[in-house]
Amino acid sequence: MATPKLDTRPPDDPASDHRQAPPRNEAGSDDALEPAANATRLGQAGALGTMGIEAQPHAMTEPILVADDDTITRRILAKTLTKLGHDVVEVGNGKSAWELLAGDTRPRLAVLDWMMPGIDGPEICRRLRKLRDEPYTYVILLTGRTEKADLVEGMTAGADDYLTKPFDENELAVRLRAGLRLLELQSELVAAREQMRTQATHDPLTGILNRGAILDVLQSELNRGRRWNDPVAVVLADLDHFKLVNDEFGHLAGDETLREASRRMRAVLRDYDSLGRYGGEEFLVVLAGCWPQIARRIAERIRTVVAARPISTTAGSIHVTSSLGVAVCDWEQPVDVQSLVNAADLALYRAKERGRNRVVIAGYEDFTQVGNAS
Protein backbone atom coordinates (compact mmCIF):
# COMPACT_ATOMS: atom_id res chain seq x y z
CA MET A 1 0.00 0.00 0.00
CA ALA A 2 1.37 3.37 -0.95
CA THR A 3 2.15 5.84 1.78
CA PRO A 4 0.44 9.17 1.22
CA LYS A 5 2.85 12.06 1.07
CA LEU A 6 0.67 14.89 2.15
CA ASP A 7 1.80 17.85 4.14
CA THR A 8 -1.14 18.08 6.48
CA ARG A 9 -0.54 19.49 9.89
CA PRO A 10 -3.41 18.89 12.16
CA PRO A 11 -1.92 16.26 14.44
CA ASP A 12 -4.30 17.53 17.06
CA ASP A 13 -7.17 16.25 14.99
CA PRO A 14 -7.22 12.48 15.41
CA ALA A 15 -9.69 11.92 12.61
CA SER A 16 -7.28 13.33 10.09
CA ASP A 17 -4.51 10.97 11.18
CA HIS A 18 -3.44 9.01 8.15
CA ARG A 19 -3.52 5.75 10.06
CA GLN A 20 -7.22 6.21 10.62
CA ALA A 21 -8.01 7.05 7.05
CA PRO A 22 -9.54 4.37 4.84
CA PRO A 23 -7.06 2.42 2.73
CA ARG A 24 -6.15 3.91 -0.58
CA ASN A 25 -7.91 2.43 -3.52
CA GLU A 26 -5.00 1.54 -5.78
CA ALA A 27 -7.03 0.31 -8.68
CA GLY A 28 -9.30 3.32 -8.63
CA SER A 29 -12.14 0.84 -8.73
CA ASP A 30 -14.66 3.37 -7.46
CA ASP A 31 -14.66 4.59 -11.04
CA ALA A 32 -17.38 2.04 -11.65
CA LEU A 33 -19.69 3.60 -9.09
CA GLU A 34 -22.44 5.96 -10.08
CA PRO A 35 -21.93 9.57 -8.90
CA ALA A 36 -24.87 9.40 -6.55
CA ALA A 37 -23.41 6.40 -4.77
CA ASN A 38 -19.91 7.72 -5.08
CA ALA A 39 -20.57 11.23 -3.83
CA THR A 40 -20.35 11.81 -0.12
CA ARG A 41 -21.79 15.02 1.15
CA LEU A 42 -20.24 16.26 4.33
CA GLY A 43 -22.08 18.53 6.69
CA GLN A 44 -21.02 21.93 7.87
CA ALA A 45 -17.99 22.08 10.09
CA GLY A 46 -18.49 21.99 13.81
CA ALA A 47 -15.48 23.54 15.49
CA LEU A 48 -13.54 25.97 13.38
CA GLY A 49 -10.09 27.34 13.74
CA THR A 50 -8.37 24.24 15.06
CA MET A 51 -6.05 24.41 12.09
CA GLY A 52 -5.13 28.02 12.55
CA ILE A 53 -7.07 29.04 9.44
CA GLU A 54 -10.19 31.12 9.48
CA ALA A 55 -13.57 30.23 8.11
CA GLN A 56 -14.26 31.77 4.73
CA PRO A 57 -16.37 34.91 4.87
CA HIS A 58 -18.29 34.17 1.70
CA ALA A 59 -21.48 32.26 2.00
CA MET A 60 -21.99 29.88 -0.90
CA THR A 61 -25.00 27.62 -0.85
CA GLU A 62 -23.63 25.14 -3.37
CA PRO A 63 -21.22 22.52 -2.06
CA ILE A 64 -17.62 22.48 -3.22
CA LEU A 65 -16.70 19.53 -5.40
CA VAL A 66 -13.58 17.60 -4.49
CA ALA A 67 -12.50 15.10 -7.11
CA ASP A 68 -9.44 12.94 -6.51
CA ASP A 69 -8.86 9.25 -7.04
CA ASP A 70 -6.54 9.20 -4.06
CA THR A 71 -8.78 8.54 -1.09
CA ILE A 72 -6.40 10.04 1.47
CA THR A 73 -5.91 13.30 -0.41
CA ARG A 74 -9.64 13.52 -1.02
CA ARG A 75 -10.54 12.98 2.63
CA ILE A 76 -8.04 15.56 3.82
CA LEU A 77 -9.20 18.09 1.26
CA ALA A 78 -12.82 17.51 2.22
CA LYS A 79 -12.01 17.77 5.89
CA THR A 80 -10.12 21.02 5.40
CA LEU A 81 -12.93 22.54 3.34
CA THR A 82 -15.51 21.43 5.89
CA LYS A 83 -13.50 23.10 8.63
CA LEU A 84 -13.55 26.26 6.54
CA GLY A 85 -17.32 26.12 6.71
CA HIS A 86 -18.21 24.63 3.33
CA ASP A 87 -20.39 21.75 2.30
CA VAL A 88 -18.38 19.27 0.27
CA VAL A 89 -19.22 16.68 -2.35
CA GLU A 90 -16.52 14.06 -2.89
CA VAL A 91 -16.00 11.91 -5.94
CA GLY A 92 -13.20 9.51 -6.77
CA ASN A 93 -12.95 9.79 -10.54
CA GLY A 94 -13.20 12.18 -13.43
CA LYS A 95 -16.38 10.71 -14.87
CA SER A 96 -18.37 11.32 -11.70
CA ALA A 97 -16.87 14.81 -11.40
CA TRP A 98 -17.91 15.65 -14.93
CA GLU A 99 -21.45 14.32 -14.41
CA LEU A 100 -21.86 16.59 -11.42
CA LEU A 101 -20.34 19.62 -13.14
CA ALA A 102 -22.47 19.16 -16.24
CA GLY A 103 -25.64 18.66 -14.18
CA ASP A 104 -28.31 21.14 -13.25
CA THR A 105 -27.35 21.61 -9.63
CA ARG A 106 -23.67 21.77 -10.25
CA PRO A 107 -21.10 22.97 -7.76
CA ARG A 108 -19.73 26.41 -8.48
CA LEU A 109 -16.31 25.67 -7.14
CA ALA A 110 -14.33 22.51 -7.81
CA VAL A 111 -10.99 21.20 -6.65
CA LEU A 112 -9.96 18.68 -9.29
CA ASP A 113 -7.06 16.30 -9.28
CA TRP A 114 -4.99 16.47 -12.44
CA MET A 115 -4.49 12.73 -12.87
CA MET A 116 -7.68 10.74 -12.47
CA PRO A 117 -9.07 7.59 -14.03
CA GLY A 118 -11.67 8.25 -16.69
CA ILE A 119 -11.40 11.96 -17.41
CA ASP A 120 -8.44 13.93 -16.12
CA GLY A 121 -8.59 17.39 -14.54
CA PRO A 122 -7.51 19.46 -17.57
CA GLU A 123 -10.00 17.62 -19.79
CA ILE A 124 -12.82 18.41 -17.36
CA CYS A 125 -11.74 22.07 -17.52
CA ARG A 126 -11.81 22.05 -21.29
CA ARG A 127 -15.30 20.50 -21.38
CA LEU A 128 -16.54 22.89 -18.72
CA ARG A 129 -15.38 25.97 -20.59
CA LYS A 130 -16.89 24.72 -23.82
CA LEU A 131 -20.21 24.00 -22.12
CA ARG A 132 -21.23 27.44 -20.84
CA ASP A 133 -19.96 30.30 -18.79
CA GLU A 134 -22.89 31.01 -16.49
CA PRO A 135 -23.01 30.50 -13.68
CA TYR A 136 -19.26 30.31 -13.71
CA THR A 137 -17.54 27.28 -12.22
CA TYR A 138 -14.25 28.13 -10.55
CA VAL A 139 -11.71 25.35 -10.86
CA ILE A 140 -8.61 24.74 -8.77
CA LEU A 141 -6.43 22.02 -10.29
CA LEU A 142 -4.60 19.82 -7.87
CA THR A 143 -1.34 18.54 -9.25
CA GLY A 144 1.78 16.72 -8.25
CA ARG A 145 3.54 18.17 -11.24
CA THR A 146 5.52 21.32 -10.84
CA GLU A 147 6.89 21.85 -14.32
CA LYS A 148 5.91 25.16 -15.80
CA ALA A 149 4.81 23.61 -19.06
CA ASP A 150 2.27 21.47 -17.23
CA LEU A 151 0.85 24.43 -15.37
CA VAL A 152 0.48 26.31 -18.63
CA GLU A 153 -1.41 23.34 -20.03
CA GLY A 154 -3.73 23.23 -17.02
CA MET A 155 -4.45 26.94 -17.08
CA THR A 156 -4.90 26.94 -20.84
CA ALA A 157 -7.41 24.13 -20.43
CA GLY A 158 -9.50 26.53 -18.36
CA ALA A 159 -8.40 26.07 -14.75
CA ASP A 160 -8.53 29.24 -12.67
CA ASP A 161 -5.86 28.31 -10.18
CA TYR A 162 -3.75 25.39 -9.13
CA LEU A 163 -2.45 23.81 -6.00
CA THR A 164 0.56 21.53 -5.92
CA LYS A 165 0.63 18.36 -3.88
CA PRO A 166 1.43 18.00 -1.09
CA PHE A 167 -0.84 20.93 -0.45
CA ASP A 168 -0.64 23.38 2.38
CA GLU A 169 -3.93 24.09 4.13
CA ASN A 170 -3.28 27.79 4.51
CA GLU A 171 -2.52 28.04 0.83
CA LEU A 172 -5.74 26.20 0.02
CA ALA A 173 -7.67 28.61 2.24
CA VAL A 174 -6.14 31.63 0.53
CA ARG A 175 -6.76 30.31 -2.97
CA LEU A 176 -10.28 29.34 -2.05
CA ARG A 177 -10.90 32.83 -0.79
CA ALA A 178 -9.76 34.29 -4.12
CA GLY A 179 -12.08 31.91 -5.96
CA LEU A 180 -15.06 32.70 -3.78
CA ARG A 181 -14.45 36.41 -4.19
CA LEU A 182 -14.47 36.02 -7.96
CA LEU A 183 -17.68 33.96 -7.85
CA GLU A 184 -19.30 36.57 -5.67
CA LEU A 185 -18.33 39.35 -8.07
CA GLN A 186 -19.66 37.32 -10.96
CA SER A 187 -22.99 36.78 -9.18
CA GLU A 188 -23.26 40.51 -8.54
CA LEU A 189 -22.51 41.27 -12.18
CA VAL A 190 -25.09 38.79 -13.44
CA ALA A 191 -27.68 40.15 -11.00
CA ALA A 192 -26.95 43.73 -12.05
CA ARG A 193 -27.19 42.81 -15.71
CA GLU A 194 -30.47 40.96 -15.19
CA GLN A 195 -31.83 43.94 -13.31
CA MET A 196 -30.82 46.26 -16.14
CA ARG A 197 -32.38 43.93 -18.67
CA THR A 198 -35.62 43.90 -16.68
CA GLN A 199 -35.55 47.67 -16.34
CA ALA A 200 -35.01 48.02 -20.06
CA THR A 201 -37.96 45.83 -20.99
CA HIS A 202 -40.46 46.26 -18.17
CA ASP A 203 -42.75 49.02 -17.03
CA PRO A 204 -41.65 49.99 -13.53
CA LEU A 205 -45.17 50.75 -12.30
CA THR A 206 -47.01 47.62 -13.37
CA GLY A 207 -44.14 45.20 -13.85
CA ILE A 208 -45.49 44.14 -17.25
CA LEU A 209 -43.60 44.68 -20.53
CA ASN A 210 -43.05 48.27 -21.62
CA ARG A 211 -44.00 49.69 -24.99
CA GLY A 212 -40.73 48.83 -26.73
CA ALA A 213 -40.73 45.28 -25.42
CA ILE A 214 -44.36 44.46 -26.29
CA LEU A 215 -43.81 45.82 -29.81
CA ASP A 216 -40.74 43.57 -30.08
CA VAL A 217 -42.89 40.62 -29.04
CA LEU A 218 -45.45 41.56 -31.69
CA GLN A 219 -42.73 41.83 -34.31
CA SER A 220 -41.39 38.36 -33.59
CA GLU A 221 -44.91 36.89 -33.46
CA LEU A 222 -45.61 38.42 -36.87
CA ASN A 223 -42.36 36.98 -38.22
CA ARG A 224 -43.29 33.57 -36.87
CA GLY A 225 -46.90 33.82 -38.02
CA ARG A 226 -45.85 34.74 -41.54
CA ARG A 227 -43.65 31.65 -41.77
CA TRP A 228 -46.42 29.29 -40.67
CA ASN A 229 -49.38 31.25 -41.97
CA ASP A 230 -50.58 31.52 -38.37
CA PRO A 231 -52.90 34.35 -37.37
CA VAL A 232 -51.69 36.99 -34.92
CA ALA A 233 -54.11 39.14 -32.94
CA VAL A 234 -53.61 42.27 -30.90
CA VAL A 235 -55.91 43.83 -28.34
CA LEU A 236 -55.54 47.47 -27.44
CA ALA A 237 -57.26 48.13 -24.12
CA ASP A 238 -57.82 51.56 -22.66
CA LEU A 239 -59.21 52.29 -19.20
CA ASP A 240 -62.29 54.49 -19.56
CA HIS A 241 -62.28 58.03 -18.15
CA PHE A 242 -58.97 57.43 -16.49
CA LYS A 243 -58.21 61.14 -16.31
CA LEU A 244 -61.15 61.45 -13.92
CA VAL A 245 -59.62 58.79 -11.66
CA ASN A 246 -56.41 60.79 -11.41
CA ASP A 247 -58.28 64.06 -10.90
CA GLU A 248 -60.69 62.71 -8.31
CA PHE A 249 -58.53 60.26 -6.35
CA GLY A 250 -55.00 61.51 -7.03
CA HIS A 251 -52.14 60.03 -9.01
CA LEU A 252 -51.19 57.55 -6.32
CA ALA A 253 -54.61 55.93 -6.48
CA GLY A 254 -54.38 56.18 -10.27
CA ASP A 255 -51.15 54.19 -10.15
CA GLU A 256 -52.72 51.59 -7.88
CA THR A 257 -55.61 51.29 -10.32
CA LEU A 258 -53.24 50.74 -13.25
CA ARG A 259 -51.34 48.10 -11.29
CA GLU A 260 -54.48 46.19 -10.33
CA ALA A 261 -56.02 46.48 -13.80
CA SER A 262 -52.87 45.07 -15.40
CA ARG A 263 -52.76 42.29 -12.80
CA ARG A 264 -56.36 41.34 -13.63
CA MET A 265 -55.66 41.38 -17.35
CA ARG A 266 -52.61 39.18 -16.91
CA ALA A 267 -54.67 36.72 -14.89
CA VAL A 268 -57.14 36.02 -17.71
CA LEU A 269 -54.52 35.62 -20.44
CA ARG A 270 -53.06 32.36 -21.62
CA ASP A 271 -49.45 31.55 -20.72
CA TYR A 272 -48.23 32.27 -24.22
CA ASP A 273 -49.99 35.63 -24.57
CA SER A 274 -48.06 38.82 -23.85
CA LEU A 275 -49.21 41.94 -22.08
CA GLY A 276 -47.51 45.31 -22.20
CA ARG A 277 -48.17 48.87 -21.13
CA TYR A 278 -48.56 50.74 -24.39
CA GLY A 279 -49.11 54.21 -23.02
CA GLY A 280 -50.49 55.91 -19.89
CA GLU A 281 -53.64 53.85 -19.35
CA GLU A 282 -53.36 51.88 -22.57
CA PHE A 283 -52.42 48.21 -22.67
CA LEU A 284 -51.41 46.11 -25.64
CA VAL A 285 -52.01 42.37 -25.68
CA VAL A 286 -50.37 40.11 -28.26
CA LEU A 287 -52.27 36.87 -28.90
CA ALA A 288 -50.28 34.37 -30.90
CA GLY A 289 -52.04 31.92 -33.24
CA CYS A 290 -55.39 33.48 -32.46
CA TRP A 291 -58.39 33.62 -34.81
CA PRO A 292 -60.92 36.49 -34.52
CA GLN A 293 -63.52 34.54 -32.49
CA ILE A 294 -60.93 33.56 -29.87
CA ALA A 295 -59.42 37.05 -29.86
CA ARG A 296 -62.85 38.53 -29.23
CA ARG A 297 -63.49 36.06 -26.41
CA ILE A 298 -60.19 36.94 -24.73
CA ALA A 299 -60.88 40.66 -25.15
CA GLU A 300 -64.31 40.15 -23.56
CA ARG A 301 -62.66 38.33 -20.70
CA ILE A 302 -60.33 41.28 -20.15
CA ARG A 303 -63.22 43.73 -20.27
CA THR A 304 -65.21 41.66 -17.79
CA VAL A 305 -62.43 41.14 -15.28
CA VAL A 306 -61.45 44.81 -15.21
CA ALA A 307 -65.02 45.90 -14.49
CA ALA A 308 -65.93 42.89 -12.31
CA ARG A 309 -65.48 44.63 -8.97
CA PRO A 310 -64.18 47.96 -7.77
CA ILE A 311 -60.42 48.33 -7.32
CA SER A 312 -59.54 49.15 -3.75
CA THR A 313 -56.92 51.85 -3.42
CA THR A 314 -55.58 53.90 -0.52
CA ALA A 315 -57.89 56.71 -1.66
CA GLY A 316 -60.93 54.48 -1.75
CA SER A 317 -62.72 52.04 -3.98
CA ILE A 318 -62.56 52.85 -7.68
CA HIS A 319 -64.74 51.30 -10.34
CA VAL A 320 -63.18 51.30 -13.78
CA THR A 321 -64.22 49.91 -17.13
CA SER A 322 -62.25 49.48 -20.31
CA SER A 323 -62.73 49.82 -24.05
CA LEU A 324 -60.96 47.40 -26.33
CA GLY A 325 -60.04 47.31 -29.99
CA VAL A 326 -59.08 44.00 -31.55
CA ALA A 327 -57.21 43.51 -34.82
CA VAL A 328 -56.34 40.14 -36.31
CA CYS A 329 -53.77 39.51 -38.99
CA ASP A 330 -54.81 36.40 -40.96
CA TRP A 331 -52.32 36.95 -43.82
CA GLU A 332 -55.10 37.65 -46.36
CA GLN A 333 -53.15 40.85 -46.75
CA PRO A 334 -49.67 41.60 -45.46
CA VAL A 335 -49.45 43.68 -42.31
CA ASP A 336 -46.65 45.06 -40.21
CA VAL A 337 -46.54 45.95 -36.54
CA GLN A 338 -47.66 49.51 -37.07
CA SER A 339 -50.62 48.74 -39.36
CA LEU A 340 -51.88 46.06 -36.99
CA VAL A 341 -51.69 48.33 -33.94
CA ASN A 342 -53.26 51.17 -35.95
CA ALA A 343 -56.17 48.94 -36.91
CA ALA A 344 -56.70 47.98 -33.25
CA ASP A 345 -56.51 51.67 -32.35
CA LEU A 346 -59.24 52.54 -34.87
CA ALA A 347 -61.43 49.77 -33.44
CA LEU A 348 -60.73 51.06 -29.93
CA TYR A 349 -61.78 54.51 -31.04
CA ARG A 350 -65.10 53.12 -32.22
CA ALA A 351 -65.57 51.29 -28.92
CA LYS A 352 -65.19 54.64 -27.14
CA GLU A 353 -67.60 56.30 -29.55
CA ARG A 354 -70.22 53.63 -29.01
CA GLY A 355 -70.31 54.20 -25.29
CA ARG A 356 -67.16 52.56 -23.85
CA ASN A 357 -66.89 49.36 -21.79
CA ARG A 358 -67.05 47.26 -24.94
CA VAL A 359 -65.04 45.30 -27.48
CA VAL A 360 -64.85 46.22 -31.17
CA ILE A 361 -63.13 44.13 -33.84
CA ALA A 362 -61.28 45.95 -36.62
CA GLY A 363 -62.51 45.40 -40.17
CA TYR A 364 -60.44 45.19 -43.33
CA GLU A 365 -61.04 48.88 -43.96
CA ASP A 366 -59.11 49.64 -40.76
CA PHE A 367 -55.88 48.22 -42.16
CA THR A 368 -53.53 50.46 -44.06
CA GLN A 369 -51.83 48.71 -46.94
CA VAL A 370 -48.28 47.95 -45.98
CA GLY A 371 -46.01 49.92 -48.22
CA ASN A 372 -48.68 52.56 -48.90
CA ALA A 373 -48.76 53.74 -45.32
CA SER A 374 -47.50 57.27 -44.96
The residues that touch Mg ion, with contacts defined as CB under 5 A, are 69, 113, 115
Least distance in angstroms from the C-beta of 117 to Mg ion:
8
d(CA 226, CA 11): 74
In this structure, how many other beta carbons lie within 10 angstroms of the beta carbon of residue 212? Answer: 11
The residue (of 73 and 322) whose beta carbon lies closer to Mg ion is 73
Pairing outcome for strands 64-67 and 109-113: parallel
Minimal distance in Å, beta carbon 145 to Mg ion? Answer: 11
User: CB of 235 within 8 A of CB of 241?
Assistant: no
Q: Which helix (H) or strand (E) is 373 found in, with range?
A: none
Nearest residue to the partner Mg ion, using Cβ? 115
State the nearest-atom distance from the C-beta of 32 to Mg ion, in Å: 17
Instruction: Give the span between the Cα atoms of 258 and 206, in whole angstroms.
Output: 7
8 A C-beta contact, residue 367 and residue 333: yes
In the complex, the smallest distance separating the C-beta of residue 116 from Mg ion, rounded to whole angstroms, is 5
Minimum distance between the CB of residue 115 and Mg ion, rounded to whole angstroms? 4
- Of the pair 165, 266, the CB lying nearest Mg ion is at 165
Q: Which of 90, 113 has the CB closer to Mg ion? A: 113
Spatial distance between the Cα atoms of 166 and 12, rounded to a whole number of angstroms: 19
Query: In whole angstroms, how close is the CB of 144 to Mg ion at the nearest point?
Result: 8
Distance CA 213, CA 195 (A): 15
User: How many angstroms separate the CA atoms of 361 and 347, rounded?
Assistant: 6
Q: Which is nearer to Mg ion, 97 or 287 (CB)?
A: 97
The minimum distance between CB 74 and Mg ion, in angstroms, equals: 9
With a CB cutoff of 8 Å and minimum separation 6, the contacts of 291 are 231, 233, 328, 330
User: Which residues neighbour 257 within 8 Å (Cβ) at sequence distance 6 or greater?
Assistant: 239, 242, 245, 249, 311, 313, 318, 320
Instruction: State which residue, 55 or 115, has the beta carbon closest to Mg ion.
Output: 115
Nearer to Mg ion, 55 or 151 (CB): 151
Nearer to Mg ion, 115 or 163 (CB): 115
State the nearest-atom distance from the C-beta of 19 to Mg ion, in Å.
21
CB-nearer residue toward Mg ion: 73 or 339? 73
The candidate with the shortest Cα–Cα distance to 235, out of 280, 274, 289, is 274
- Residues near 181 by beta carbon (within 8 Å), at least 6 away in sequence: 58
Q: 175 vs 142, 168, 283, 310, CA distance in Å?
A: 12, 11, 53, 60
